[in-house]
Amino acid sequence: MPVTLTVSQVRDALYQVERAEASTDGTTTTAMLGRWFHEGLNFLVSNESSESPLFALSQSETDLPTWKALLVHRVYEQFVGPRLTRHCVTLQESPSQVVAFWQAMQAACHWVAELCWTLHVNSSSRRRNVVAPWSQLSKSFETDVFLECEFTDPRWSDSVRLTGIADAVVRLTSADIWCIVEFKTGKTSPQTDLGQACLYHMMLSAIESSRLGKQVDSGKLALISFTPERQESFFSSYELTEALQKLRDLIGRLAGVSGDHRRNIASEVSVNTPADRPTQTETSADQEYLDMGRRIVETFKEYGVNITLDSEIVVGPTFIRFTIIPGPGTKVAAVEKRAAELQVRLELAAEPFINRDRGRLVIDIQRPHRQTVYFDKVRSQLPAIDPLHGSAVVPVGVDLAGELVCADLSKPEHCHLLVAGTTASGKSEWLRMAIAGLMVTNTTETLRLVIIDPKRNAFHALKNSPYLWQPLVFPDEQPAGEVLKKLCAEMDERYRLLDGADTIADAIAKANKPLPRIVCVCDEYRDLISRDAKERKQIEEQVCRLGAKARAAGIHLILATQQPSRETIKGALDSNMPARVGLKMGRYLESNMLLGEAGAEKLLGHGDLLFKDVNSPRRLQAPLLTEANRVEIFADKSDTN
């Protein structure tokens, strides 16, 4: 099975050798302003309506200075101005960064105008009707492009799957331009930036070669920096040959598939790096996190809160954890209530999460370069298939040590799960990942699924799966109450089959014949109980029966909702759903309703979660099930039906 690496991991390794000579040009940007810049580029090159900046060029004079001025005006009026007004309080501590951001946006507008002008001139020289330059640019300019490819090497023990998101891919075939573009704002690390851009260049070459069935040249590489003035560097494929070979060597070592992967990466990896570069004894990440820790202590000191940092700084895929030691007389509440001040002082995109973990006070701060945890990376931590008993293990998320934390449906504290999270929290993705985890550790003889899908699109890939106990349930076509009633009848029948055995596992061992567990997964539970009073009563009665008695019969519930309100979670449902998965919530009241305490409202979304059973909530990151995983685990299995 291929080893999976992300571009962020490779970039971090490249950055180890660059810290000592990081560029001092430019003004440091904040995470929020950096995100705005990328969003601004997306807005700038869109051509979806008459309100878009590029469309406005068609209504103006054909003159480059006019085009530049028009794009700057449109971007400020429609994008930058409203955001500055909305976040003026947050940005009042960062005036120089705001000025630099606006200067960078103006430079980006001028750059896009020049691209359009180049297309216009080339089109005019051909003396024939062609697509308008702004339309060409919009169609050829893809931003936030997800790239995934697999590399092999005769010297490697295994192949390596590399994933990442490129800032932009430009294919202007009419102007003979085809390049990957990486945008950098503020202070940059030139050699690392170039190395990352080279990496995307290599990935696009591999993807295009695979698509066409032959080796292709992926064209030029452009590295565009705004510091805040625009700086451009262009490289041909020939000029990148040596750098690309070094990157392949690095990828092999990072993935642990090359014979020399234990060698010091930082001492060898560079892209056009001077030979006399000093050796790094402290990684850039270590120093950056230590600096952040000192700023945390200084911030609390401003407000008279005496704390010290534990020497251990733990870096997870989503956040960095600092352990806090309160000084004499310092109350925990005094630390917890300063989260907003800490966010502003450290210029963080998200409010830090201050919590208690195993008797220690911790501060979790969002990583500047958040890493994605892929399902493939943790799949090996799931149990092997047991053809007799199967597996009751449901993957929940990865902890700070990279270990996969699972719920065991066979245990009373995990027998049913209640999942909640707002839009973009990753709720549906988590459900699909949990189902995939069950499917790869079971056969159709040991697992059957009941899928209730009010949205009709969350589990479409499972429609032909042999793991289904019955076809996908769409409540508009088949009332969910009827399905739950059938499950209750199955539960009663199984209790008769147990014949004195305490659990389904005992009955299977006695008969030496598999009896499949049935896992009922329901998305948007609140939607089910919001239809009419009669149906709601029926559903709640059946859910309560299953919640109270179904574990021993090998029937389990995984219910998900966007709104964990008192109306949704109450009475018997609350007491019979012992395990809780809380993704990002809209309000602290919802977090308190689901988990018994606030905190989920401060999560970062996209699979960042709190898992609670009989113990205090644990913060985890849900693995991402890619489209390729879905095809492999969901769709392909239908062929065996």
Token pair 């809780």 in the structure block, residue: 580
pLDDT tens per residue across span 81-117: 988 887 776 677 678 888 888 988 999 899 888 888 8
The whole-number pLDDT of residue 311 equals 62
On the question of pLDDT at 349 being above 80, the answer is yes
Q: Please give the average per-residue pLDDT across 369-396, as a whole number.
A: 90
Residue 272, in any domain of the structure: no
User: Looking at per-residue confidence, does 498 or 47 come out higher?
Assistant: 498
User: Looking at per-residue confidence, does 397 or 3 come out higher?
Assistant: 397
User: pLDDT band for position 230 (50/70/90)?
Assistant: confident
Strand partners, 620: 609
On the question of pLDDT at 218 being above 70, the answer is no
122 closest CA partner among 167, 176, 166: 176
Same domain, 162 and 309: no
On the question of pLDDT at 358 being above 80, the answer is no
As to burial, measured by CB atoms within 10 angstroms (0-12 exposed, 13-18 middle, 19+ buried), residue 61 is exposed
Residue 502, in any domain of the structure: yes
Residue type, 578: P
Which segment of 211-225, 303-317, 342-356, 443-457 scores lowest on mean pLDDT? 211-225
Range of the domain at 536: 396-450+481-623
On the question of pLDDT at 279 being above 50, the answer is no
91 closest CA partner among 365, 300, 349: 349
Angle at CA 109, nearest 5°, toward 103 and 111? 105
Same domain, 261 and 303: no
Q: Which two tokens stand for residue 292?
A: 């952040």
The whole-number pLDDT of residue 483 equals 92
Residue 380, in any domain of the structure: no
Residue 561, in any domain of the structure: yes
User: pLDDT band for position 285 (50/70/90)?
Assistant: low
Angle at CA 123, nearest 5°, toward 121 and 129? 145
User: Alpha carbon of 103 to those of 37, 106, 227, 329: distances in Å?
Assistant: 11, 5, 9, 47
CA distance 628 to 103: 41
Which segment of 42-46, 269-273, 574-578, 607-611 scores lowest on mean pLDDT? 269-273
Residue 428: count of CB within 10 angstroms of its CB: 18
Q: How many helices (H) and strands (E) does the chain have?
A: 22, 19
Torsion angle in degrees (nearest 10) through CA of 130, 131, 133, 137: -130
Residue 59: count of CB within 10 angstroms of its CB: 8
Q: What is the DSSP string of 420-449?
A: E--TTS-HHHHHHHHHHHHHTT--TTTEEE
395 closest CA partner among 370, 429, 443, 444: 429
The whole-number pLDDT of residue 47 equals 64
CB 8 within 8 A of CB 166: no
User: Which residues have C-beta within 8 Å of that of residue 216, sequence separation ≥ 6?
Assistant: 205, 208, 209
The enclosing domain of 292 has a CATH number of 3.30.980.40
Which of 6-20, 426-440, 535-549 has the highest average model confidence (pLDDT)? 426-440
Same domain, 254 and 295: no
The whole-number pLDDT of residue 488 equals 94
As to burial, measured by CB atoms within 10 angstroms (0-12 exposed, 13-18 middle, 19+ buried), residue 467 is buried
Q: Please give the average per-residue pLDDT across 156-165, as a whole number.
A: 80
* End-of-domain residue from the set 202, 234, 267: 267
pLDDT tens per residue across span 385-425: 999 999 999 999 998 878 899 999 998 889 999 999 998 88
* End-of-domain residue from the set 237, 267, 297: 267
Torsion sign across C-alpha atoms 71, 74, 76, 78: negative
Q: Please give the average per-residue pLDDT across 42-51, as a whole number.
A: 71
Same domain, 505 and 575: yes
Token pair 């998200």 in the structure block, residue: 350
Residue 389, in any domain of the structure: no
Same domain, 244 and 288: no
Same domain, 446 and 496: yes
The enclosing domain of 545 has a CATH number of 3.40.50.300
Q: Please give the average per-residue pLDDT across 518-533, as a whole number.
A: 86
Residue 466, in any domain of the structure: no
pLDDT tens per residue across span 115-129: 888 777 776 655 554
On the question of pLDDT at 439 being above 90, the answer is yes
Strand-pair category, 360-366 with 353-357: antiparallel
Q: Which two tokens stand for residue 609?
A: 């979660």
244 closest CA partner among 270, 223, 277, 215: 270
Same domain, 443 and 591: yes
Which of 178-182, 277-281, 422-426, 566-570 has the highest average model confidence (pLDDT)? 422-426
On the question of pLDDT at 375 being above 80, the answer is yes
Dmax over Cα atoms in the chain, in whole Å?
Answer: 88
Residue 259: count of CB within 10 angstroms of its CB: 11
CA distance 100 to 349: 17
User: Which residues have C-beta within 8 Å of that of residue 496, sequence separation ≥ 6?
Assistant: none
The whole-number pLDDT of residue 21 equals 41
User: pLDDT band for position 476 (50/70/90)?
Assistant: confident
The whole-number pLDDT of residue 215 equals 63
* End-of-domain residue from the set 207, 233, 267: 267
User: Looking at per-residue confidence, does 203 or 517 come out higher?
Assistant: 517
The whole-number pLDDT of residue 193 equals 67
CA distance 184 to 333: 39
User: Looking at per-residue confidence, does 369 or 517 come out higher?
Assistant: 517
Residue 171, in any domain of the structure: yes
Same domain, 348 and 232: no
CA distance 409 to 221: 51
CA distance 117 to 172: 13
115 closest CA partner among 230, 239, 235: 230
Strand-pair category, 618-621 with 608-612: antiparallel
Q: Please give the average per-residue pLDDT across 542-568, as a whole number.
A: 88
The whole-number pLDDT of residue 270 equals 29
CB 30 within 8 A of CB 186: no
CB 28 within 8 A of CB 186: yes
Residue 423: count of CB within 10 angstroms of its CB: 9
pLDDT tens per residue across span 17-34: 444 344 444 444 566 777
Same domain, 45 and 184: yes
Strand partners, 357: 360
User: pLDDT band for position 224 (50/70/90)?
Assistant: confident
Same domain, 317 and 199: no
Torsion angle in degrees (nearest 10) through CA of 329, 335, 338, 341: 90
Q: Please give the average per-residue pLDDT across 536-544, as a whole number.
A: 88
The whole-number pLDDT of residue 640 equals 40
User: pLDDT band for position 252 (50/70/90)?
Assistant: confident
Domain tally, the chain: 3
pLDDT tens per residue across span 612-627: 988 888 999 999 998 8
The whole-number pLDDT of residue 15 equals 57
The whole-number pLDDT of residue 89 equals 65
Same domain, 244 and 303: no
618 closest CA partner among 581, 565, 577, 578: 581
Q: Please give the average per-residue pLDDT across 348-357, as a whole number.
A: 87
Q: Please give the average per-residue pLDDT across 551-562, as a whole number.
A: 92
Q: Please give the average per-residue pLDDT across 472-486, as a whole number.
A: 90
Please tell me the number of Cα atoms within 13 Å of 122 on its side-chain side.
Answer: 17
CB 228 within 8 A of CB 104: yes
Same domain, 592 and 446: yes
As to burial, measured by CB atoms within 10 angstroms (0-12 exposed, 13-18 middle, 19+ buried), residue 23 is middle
CA distance 407 to 417: 9
CA distance 158 to 156: 5
End-to-end CA distance of the chain: 25
pLDDT tens per residue across span 164-197: 777 777 765 544 445 566 555 555 556 666 677 7
On the question of pLDDT at 448 being above 90, the answer is yes
Token pair 């290599």 in the structure block, residue: 202
Q: Which two tokens stand for residue 408?
A: 């065991």
CB 607 within 8 A of CB 397: yes
Which of 249-258, 300-309, 569-578 has the highest average model confidence (pLDDT)? 300-309
Which segment of 213-217, 558-562, 631-635 scores lowest on mean pLDDT? 213-217
